[in-house]
Each structure stands twice: as C-alpha cells, then as structure tokens.
C-alpha cells in the first residue's frame, strides 16, 4: 500500500514557513500585507488607549467623589457595641474571676486595667487634647479647625475615674472584694446618642444572678454618665487623638462573692435586644472574688 500523501521533507516545511512569514509573490507578511498590518496595529493601539483612558477616568471620578474623612461603606446607622475590662474570657464568656489573696491573680487584673488606661494618662491627655471642651453639649465641628487639618478631640482623664482610676489604689480593688471594672462603648462615626435630644447616655449595671452577693455598686464618673462633648465622632482621620469616654463601676461583693452582671449604655437610640449581637448596647459578665 502506497501512501497517497506525499511525504514532505523537513527542508520543504521550512521553506513553507518561510513563505508564510514573507511571501514575495503577493508581498504579504504573515499572511497579510504590511498595509493591513499597520491598520490592525493602529486599531489595537487606539482600542487600548481608549480603554486605559476610560479606566483612568472612572478611577479619577471615584477618588474625586469619595470623602477620605468618611467611610464609603456604612450599612445603616449601627448601634454601638459595649465592652468591659478586664477582658477575661473563658469559652467566649466574660468571666472576671480573681483570687484576692493570690498576688499573681490580682496583679493580672490590675495590670490589665493599668495597661488599658495608659492612653488616658492625665499628662498625656493634657498634651494631646488641650482643647477646652464644654461639657454637657454635643461637640459639633463642621470645619477642620484643629492643627494639620483635623478636628478637636476632648480629653478624657484617667483621674475622672476616681477610686477606679488606679491612681490612689493601683490594685483597682482586686486585693479586696470591691473590684473595679471599666465599661467602654465602641465609637461610631456621626453617632449622636439620644438622637440629638441633648440627653447624655449613661451606664446602668444590674445584677442578673446572685443579687444577695452584691451589696451595691458605684459609678465613676458620677451617675455613669458619658459626656455629650465626646459626640459626634468624626473618624480617625479627622480626630486622630480621639479617646472614648469611659465609665468605671466598683462593685461591693459579699457572701459567696459571685454574681452575673449586665451593664447597659442607656440611650433611646442604642439597641440592646438583638440576640445575634450580644454585645450591642450592653455587656454581660460573671464577677467572682475568691479568697
Ligand atoms: C487563693 O490564693 C490563696 C493563696 O495563694 C490560696 O491559698 C487559695 O487556695 C486560693 N483560693 C482558691 C479558691 O483558689
Ligand atoms: C502618667 O504619665 C506620667 C509621665 O509619663 C507618669 O509620671 C505618671 O505616673 C502616669 N500616671 C499614671 C497614673 O500612670
Ligand atoms: C484652654 O484654657 C486654658 C486656661 O483656661 C488656656 O490657657 C488655653 O489656651 C485654652 N485652650 C484653648 C485651645 O482654647
Ligand atoms: C473613694 O474611696 C475612699 C476610701 O475607700 C472613700 O472614703 C471615698 O468616699 C471614695 N470616693 C468616692 C467618690 O466614692
Ligand atoms: C431620631 O430623630 C429623627 C429626626 O429628628 C427621627 O426621624 C427619628 O424617628 C428619631 N428616632 C428616634 C429613635 O427617636
Ligand atoms: C437600670 O436598669 C434597671 C433594670 O432594667 C431599671 O430598673 C432601672 O430603673 C435603671 N436605672 C436607671 C437609672 O436607668
Ligand atoms: C446624678 O443624678 C442625680 C439624680 O438624678 C442628680 O441629682 C445629680 O445632679 C447627677 N449628677 C451629675 C454629676 O450629673
């Protein structure tokens, strides 16, 4: 059986390829005349120039309309979360358990609070936040009046926390059955507590379990108030030295010295009953003093 196809030698194939690259008979280069190649190239050059231009334009428009001082994505006005310090967790449950006669145990609690309060050091605050804020009023700042195109932030002094400031008592009460905890509400840009009605939010702690083990509790500052001058918050770029207002609570534990406590930040526009957001508007924790 003879093959019908004529076997071509390697040399012939190379010649064919050579013909394809440059065909002198009809003057085409890679199957097309140089003229056509110029048309095709200029078409693609124009195409990419236009695409690049459109891309650059859209990026430019986006950057131009975005306000760097305000987050782009903010889904509805959120309700702030609430946290407690010392932030001691046991299986995702906040359990502040300490042994008042074990130095290692109470040191752990007090150094957690010392560390947490470092930014609130009176000397530090009076250097960073020296604006004379008017307490009891929202601190609206439409303009960027502070140095370096920023807005003022009100100072929050550690000493405001009185007997829970760690200044007179560096153990924060953890060598006794009168421990201090510190409540902080997360910041939300442009959030106005009580919806702008001029009433300050405050912390209200209630004993959920073990009422007989808690003789009482005291708030610092008085009434657990978070002053209005810390609101609204304009964001980290506008207020780089902002510090959250804090409320400290000193509990007086008796009997079994164990209780489950809930601390809520009270304001008519702070939600606290969303079961999917357990830290929204409130924080629950166990407090136990061992001996
Ligand atoms: C608390 O600490 C003291 C001293 O270290 C120790 O004797 C005691 O057993 C501890 N109490 C508990 C409940 O662990
Ligand atoms: C605050 O800082 C100053 C200077 O750094 C320091 O001397 C002082 O002890 C600090 N105060 C507290 C309560 O830690
Ligand atoms: C705040 O008040 C003090 C004394 O009353 C004054 O020296 C200081 O300049 C004031 N600061 C501002 C930013 O107004
Ligand atoms: C702070 O503690 C001291 C000593 O326990 C007490 O005499 C004082 O009344 C407390 N201060 C406040 C504001 O509760
Ligand atoms: C807050 O105020 C706005 C406008 O002033 C009003 O539309 C809204 O219903 C108020 N919300 C609450 C919870 O009072
Ligand atoms: C604190 O919360 C408790 C329980 O919800 C409530 O009975 C009490 O009136 C509240 N206190 C204040 C000052 O809002
Ligand atoms: C704390 O609350 C009491 C009773 O409502 C009030 O008389 C007192 O002026 C409040 N103190 C402060 C500093 O707001």
Cα 112 to middle of ligand 1, angstroms: 20
pLDDT of residue 40: 87
pLDDT of residue 78: 81
Domain boundary among 65, 98, 116: 65
Cα Rg of the chain (Å, integer): 34
pLDDT of residue 217: 97
Residue pLDDT, tens place only, 1-22: 445 555 666 666 667 666 667 7
**Which single residue is written with the structure tokens 């199957």?**
31
What are the distances in angstroms from CA 191 to CA 4, 209, 227? 86, 32, 14
Find out whether the beta carbon of 222 lies less than 6 Å from any atom of ligand 7. yes
Residue range of the domain that includes 214: 82-290
pLDDT of residue 76: 55
Q: For residue 245, is it within any domain? A: yes
Identify which ligand lies nearest to the alpha carbon of 160.
Answer: 4
Q: What kind and span of H or E run contains 208?
A: strand 202-209
- % pLDDT > 90, the chain: 69
Do 37 and 126 fall into the same domain?
Answer: no
Instruction: Report yes or no: 247 and 156 within 8 Å, Cβ to Cβ.
Output: no
244/85 Cα distance (integer angstroms):
14
pLDDT of residue 239: 94
Do 55 and 166 fall into the same domain?
Answer: no
Cα 290 to middle of ligand 1, angstroms: 7
Token pair in block for residue 253: 């534990």
Confidence of residue 58 (pLDDT cuts 50, 70, 90): confident
156/147 Cα distance (integer angstroms):
19
Identify which ligand lies nearest to the alpha carbon of 191.
Answer: 5
Least confident of 33-47, 102-116, 159-173: 33-47
Cα 133 to middle of ligand 3, angstroms: 10
Strand blocks (E) in 58-201: 82-85, 89-90, 93-99, 180-185
Q: What is the mean pLDDT of the chain?
A: 89
Do 29 and 91 fall into the same domain?
Answer: no
199/264 Cα distance (integer angstroms):
16
Confidence of residue 90 (pLDDT cuts 50, 70, 90): confident
Token pair in block for residue 60: 């430019």
Identify which ligand lies nearest to the alpha carbon of 269.
Answer: 5
List phi, psi (to 5°) of 162.
50, -120
Residue pLDDT, tens place only, 111-148: 999 999 999 999 999 999 999 999 999 999 999 999 89
pLDDT of residue 60: 84
Token pair in block for residue 182: 């510190």
Do 280 and 174 fall into the same domain?
Answer: yes
157 has a pLDDT exceeding 90? yes
Confidence of residue 170 (pLDDT cuts 50, 70, 90): very high
277/275 Cα distance (integer angstroms):
5
Residues enclosing ligand 4, CB less than 6 A? 162-163, 218
Q: For residue 202, is it within any domain? A: yes
Residue pLDDT, tens place only, 184-216: 999 999 999 998 898 999 999 999 999 999 999
Cα 81 to middle of ligand 6, angstroms: 19
Q: Which of 209, 196, 187 is nearest to 82 (CA)?
A: 187
30/18 Cα distance (integer angstroms):
9
Do 87 and 143 fall into the same domain?
Answer: yes
Residue of 160, 161, 163, 176 to test ligand 4 pocket, by largest number of atoms within 8 Å of CB: 163
pLDDT of residue 152: 94
Helices (H), 66-211: 103-117, 122-128
Q: What is the dihedral of CA 119, 98, 224, 219, to 10 degrees?
A: -110
pLDDT of residue 195: 85
266 has a pLDDT exceeding 90? yes
Q: For residue 203, is it within any domain? A: yes
Instruction: Report yes or no: 287 and 249 within 8 Å, Cβ to Cβ.
Output: no
Domain boundary among 5, 31, 65: 65
Residue pLDDT, tens place only, 226-264: 999 999 999 999 999 999 999 999 999 999 999 999 999
Residue pLDDT, tens place only, 61-86: 887 777 766 666 665 568 899 999 99
Do 59 and 139 fall into the same domain?
Answer: no
Domain count, the chain: 2
Shortest-distance atom of ligand 7 to CA 223: 1
Which of the pair, 154 or 91, is modelled with greater confidence? 154
Residue of 98, 99, 289 to test ligand 1 pocket, by largest number of atoms within 8 Å of CB: 99
């Amino acid at each position: 059986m003879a093959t019908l196809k004529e076997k071509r030698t390697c040399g012939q194939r190379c010649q064919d390829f050579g013909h394809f690259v440059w065909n002198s008979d009809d003057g085409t280069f890679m199957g097309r005349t140089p003229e056509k190649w110029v048309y095709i190239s200029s078409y693609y050059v124009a195409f990419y120039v236009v695409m690049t231009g459109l891309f650059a334009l859209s990026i430019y428009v986006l950057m131009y309309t975005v306000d760097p001082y305000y987050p782009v994505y903010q889904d509805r006005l959120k309700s702030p979360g609430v946290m407690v310090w010392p932030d001691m967790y046991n299986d995702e449950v906040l359990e502040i358990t300490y042994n008042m006669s074990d130095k290692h145990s109470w040191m752990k609690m007090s150094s957690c609070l010392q560390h947490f309060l470092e930014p609130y050091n009176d000397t530090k605050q009076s250097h960073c936040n020296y604006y004379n804020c008017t307490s009891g009023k929202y601190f609206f700042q439409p303009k960027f009046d502070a140095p370096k195109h920023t807005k003022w932030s009100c100072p929050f002094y550690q000493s405001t926390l009185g007997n829970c400031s760690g200044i007179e008592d560096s153990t924060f009460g953890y060598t006794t059955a009168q421990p201090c905890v510190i409540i902080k509400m997360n910041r939300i840009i442009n959030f106005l507590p009580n919806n702008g009605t001029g009433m300050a939010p405050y912390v209200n702690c209630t004993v959920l379990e073990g009422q007989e083990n808690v003789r009482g509790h005291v708030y610092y500052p008085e009434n657990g108030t978070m002053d209005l001058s810390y609101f609204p918050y304009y964001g980290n770029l506008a207020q780089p030295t902002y510090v959250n207002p804090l409320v400290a609570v000193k509990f007086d534990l008796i009997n079994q010295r164990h209780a489950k406590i809930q601390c809520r930040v009270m304001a008519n526009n702070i939600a606290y009953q969303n079961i999917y957001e357990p830290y929204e508007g409130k924080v629950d924790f166990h407090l136990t003093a061992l001996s």
